[in-house]
Amino acid sequence: MTTISEDLFARARRVIPGGVNSPVRAFGSVGATPLFIERASGSRVFDIDGREYIDYVASWGPMILGHAHPAVVEAVQRAAERGTSYGAPTKSEVELAEQIVDAFPAMDEVRMVSSGTEAVMSAVRLARAFTGRDRIIKFEGCYHGHADSLLVTAGSGVATLGIPGSPGVPDTLAELTVTVRYNDSASLTAALDRFGDETAAVIIEPVAGNMGVIPPRPGFLEDVRRLTSERNILLIFDEVITGFRLTYGGAQTLFDIQPDLTCLGKIIGGGLPVGAFGGRREIMELLAPQGPVYQAGTLSGNPLAMAAGLAALGKLRDNRATLYDDLEHKATTLCRRMEIAIDKRGIPAVINRIGSMFTLFFASGAINDYEGAKTSDTERFASFFRVMLAGGIMIPPSQFEASFVSTAHSDDDIESTLVCFETAMETAFSR
Ligand code: HOZ
């Protein structure tokens, strides 16, 4: 008998390309059918067939407080009662911008958009306008959304599907994107020696989250900052995943590095469709209507998203003295216990973790870059994934993604996850 999810997926495939509205949801690389989700609450998601899962996807990161946090739900309900979109300024946009600028010392000004992709696309345009140069440098395996210039050797769904670039991106544009190795300062230096005079910006996920989690080596981000400053190249931090997650103020606060521009995403909308980019005033003031660089959007600063963002970030701000330690404690407990199980079995698997984000790679040795991540046994991952899912544990359906712990995960959730983990590892390594 087919499940409701399977029926819906069959219907979806007739009217939606691939049956999904974002490729990473398709479960193709893990040999399963996507679950259609009916609702979510706290640490749990519930599918349309009535099954319950402990969720580590967290809508790909933003649910730091868990799903449907009462403060966020109430804020959205109240905002909706006042109208869902005006196409005109609101007080909530000012308040959220103030809170973001306050949290990120490198940002003097911030512009709201509707997604992380839009934030990055706009930041790159701004960097090109500010410097008068066209090239950008990105790191292999880092994913910055699906804007044309950034789909080169990208992570996330692009890595999962094994697509090196994307048809539809003109060669003349792709050629302006130079890729270098993450965690390899020499690789960046070599690219800058060759292209430095033509380069507008270096863009980086300060902690990579889209080739699986890969933290920066000590000194790497410092090198990136120094090398870009020396050549008057803008440094763009893509903190769509790390902003407000690693700590209040993001990776740049944790590592004490000041980028020139920062991109934020779904986290600042408490999971609603939002993005933002911000940075030094002299750069940001090039934006229309102040300056000549055009960027716009009817739904930018949407009142529902601003209300949700204010509620979510307000909780993070007010509880930051303990909240990030709590997240760290939960994630450490989970990952250490998984590592003990891995060591006991002597199997080729390694966990990369920083704060509340982690990836279990089915590979041996340290994973420090995209080349390393790609040595993972994705079939083994797929088998592991399917047993976890059958056991009621939802992790991202790809080896090249991050799992996230939220404040809503309980000790019992972690224990249940570990029980299922043992069975899933048993299955993955039984062949
Ligand atoms: N950045 C997310 C994946 N790591 C995007 C999710 C999506 O593409 O749907």
Report d(CA 33, CA 27) in Å as an integer: 6
pLDDT at position 152? 77
Q: Is 299 in the pocket of ligand 1 (CB under 6 A)?
A: no
**What kind of fold does domain 4-68+320-428 have according to CATH?**
Aspartate Aminotransferase, domain 1 (3.90.1150)
Q: Is the shortest distance between the CB of 157 and ligand 1 below 6 Å?
A: yes
- Name the pLDDT band for 247 (thresholds 50, 70, 90): very high
Does the CB atom of residue 377 touch ligand 1 within 6 A? Answer: no
CATH match for 70-318 among 3.30.420.40, 3.10.180.10, 3.40.50.300, 3.40.640.10: 3.40.640.10
pLDDT tens for 322-341 read 999 999 999 999 999 999 99
pLDDT tens, residue by residue, 171-182: 888 889 999 999
Q: How far apart are CA 262 and CA 104, in angstroms?
A: 9
The ligand 1 atom nearest the CA atom of 209 = 4
Q: Residues 279-310: pLDDT tens digits?
A: 999 999 999 999 999 999 999 999 999 999 99
Overall average pLDDT of the 128-139 stretch: 97
**What pairs with residue 263 in β-bridges?**
238, 277
State residue 385 phi and psi, 5-degree precision: -55, -45
Task: Name the pLDDT band for 11 (thresholds 50, 70, 90).
Answer: very high
Q: Give the span between the Cα atoms of 273 and 240, in whole angstroms.
A: 12
CA separation for the pair 283, 296 (Å, rounded): 17
Mean pLDDT within 184-199: 97
For residue 162, name the pLDDT band (cuts at 50, 70, 90). Answer: low
In the chain, CATH 3.90.1150.10 sits at 4-68+320-428
What are the phi and psi torsion angles at 54 (to 5°)? Answer: -80, 125
Residue 266 catalytic? yes
Q: Is the pLDDT of residue 164 over 70?
A: no
Is residue 21 within 6 Å of ligand 1 at its C-beta?
no
Mutate to test the pocket of ligand 1, among 16, 57, 60 (most ligand atoms within 8 A of CB): 60
CA of 394 to the centre of ligand 1 (A): 15
The one catalytic residue in 138, 266, 315, 374 is: 266
CB 238 less than 6 A from any atom of ligand 1: no
In angstroms, rounded to a whole number, what is the distance separating the alpha carbons of residues 47 and 50? 5
pLDDT band for position 163 (cuts 50, 70, 90): low
pLDDT, residue 149, reads 87
Specify the residue for token string 């044309």: 148
Question: For residue 54, is pLDDT > 80?
Answer: yes
pLDDT for 349:
96
Residue extent(s) of CATH 3.40.640.10 domains in the chain: 70-318
* Segment 62-119, tens digit of pLDDT: 999 999 999 999 999 999 999 999 999 999 999 999 999 999 999 999 999 999 999 9
